[in-house]
């Protein structure tokens, strides 16, 4: 993940120092530097700015005042020589507050906070998207088929292919895809991998026999590496 950042500071030496810090941080990409906040408005509004390194004491408009005009998706790391602004900075939901002179270790710690925030936000968005979906489109031969999650009994891995065993039809639907990529598309609360070759629909489980999940005449083994997670599910829902 690469974060686009902007530096705003009325001290040229402070800007130069932060520029060198950004350059040596692999996940940061500098998109602009400005000596006053008003000059940065177009860059922030017209292009995506993930992280703003923002000085507080500046002419025309202070960093604290300017931060109130920014979109919530732009995360702020305040930089200042005055520690009395720290409380105000955190009240404005700043990710961090760096007191000048800033060393690289402190800078990197603050940048890592930003990276973690964006990673967690992205993960949460992906989870919400997956949990709200009710079906998946898969390529089977020369056709695209829509498969409802509620129709899936279990999914079987066979080398480069997966087979969707469905409740409403006898023949499974085969698709050229990996189990790992498929797992990312399935709602975690409904599906669980119980073996390197099998993913089951937890809502469809009715019979368990000798470490196997039974679907009609088919017995799906629960391997040792997945047993603890599966037993935790059973304990929460059935015992």
* Tens-digit pLDDT profile for residues 166-206: 999 989 999 888 888 888 889 888 999 999 999 999 999 99
Q: What is the mean pLDDT of the chain?
A: 87
**pLDDT band with cut points at 50, 70 and 90 for residue 128:** low
pLDDT greater than 70 at residue 37:
yes
The top-scoring range by mean pLDDT among 42-51, 80-89, 143-152 is 143-152
| pTM metric for this prediction | 0.54
Phi, psi of 153 (to 5 degrees): -85, -55
- Helix or strand or coil: residue 90? helix
- 24-28, 106-110, 122-126, 149-153: the lowest-pLDDT one: 122-126
**pLDDT band with cut points at 50, 70 and 90 for residue 2:** very high
d(CA 188, CA 11): 50
d(CA 218, CA 212): 9
pLDDT greater than 60 at residue 13:
yes
pLDDT single digits (tens) 74-103: 889 999 887 765 445 444 557 888 999 999
C-alpha angle with apex 116: 110 to 121, nearest 5 degrees? 130
Give pLDDT, residue 89. Answer: 46
- CA-to-CA separations, 25 to 110, 149, 185, in angstroms, rounded: 12, 42, 32
Q: Which long-range contacts (CB under 8 A, 24 or more apart) does 196-203 make?
A: 196/157, 196/223, 196/225, 197/156, 197/157, 197/158, 198/154, 198/155, 198/156, 198/157, 199/154, 199/155, 200/153, 200/154, 200/155, 201/149, 201/150, 201/152, 201/153, 201/154, 202/233, 203/150
The fraction of the chain above a pLDDT of 70, given in percent, is 90
Cis peptide before 237 (omega within 30 of 0): no
pLDDT greater than 70 at residue 123:
no
Which residues, in sequence order, are CB contacts of 114 under 8 Å at separation 6+? 3, 50, 51, 75, 77, 95, 96
pLDDT greater than 60 at residue 239:
no
């Amino acid at each position: 993940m690469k974060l686009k950042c902007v530096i705003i500071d009325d001290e040229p030496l402070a800007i130069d120092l932060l520029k060198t810090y950004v350059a040596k941080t692999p996940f940061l990409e500098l998109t602009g530097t400005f000596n006053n906040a008003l000059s940065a408005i177009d860059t922030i509004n017209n292009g995506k700015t993930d992280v703003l390194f923002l000085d507080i004491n500046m002419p025309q408009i202070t960093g604290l005042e300017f931060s109130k005009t920014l979109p919530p998706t732009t995360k702020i790391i305040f930089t200042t020589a005055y520690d009395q602004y720290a409380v105000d900075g955190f009240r404005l939901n700043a990710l961090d507050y760096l007191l000048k002179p800033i060393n690289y270790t402190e800078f990197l710690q603050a940048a890592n906070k930003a990276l973690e925030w964006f990673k967690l936000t992205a993960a949460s968005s992906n989870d919400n998207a997956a949990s709200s979906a009710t079906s998946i489109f898969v390529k089977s031969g020369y056709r695209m088929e829509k498969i409802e999650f509620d129709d899936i009994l279990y999914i079987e891995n066979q080398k480069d292919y997966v087979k969707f065993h469905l409740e409403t039809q006898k023949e499974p639907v085969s698709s050229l895809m990996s189990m790992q990529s498929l797992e990312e598309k399935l709602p975690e609360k409904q599906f669980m991998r119980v073996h390197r070759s099998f993913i089951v629909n937890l809502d469809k489980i009715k019979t368990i026999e000798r470490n196997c999940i039974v679907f009609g005449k088919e017995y799906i083994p629960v391997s040792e590496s997945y047993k603890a997670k599966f037993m935790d599910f059973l304990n929460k829902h059935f015992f």
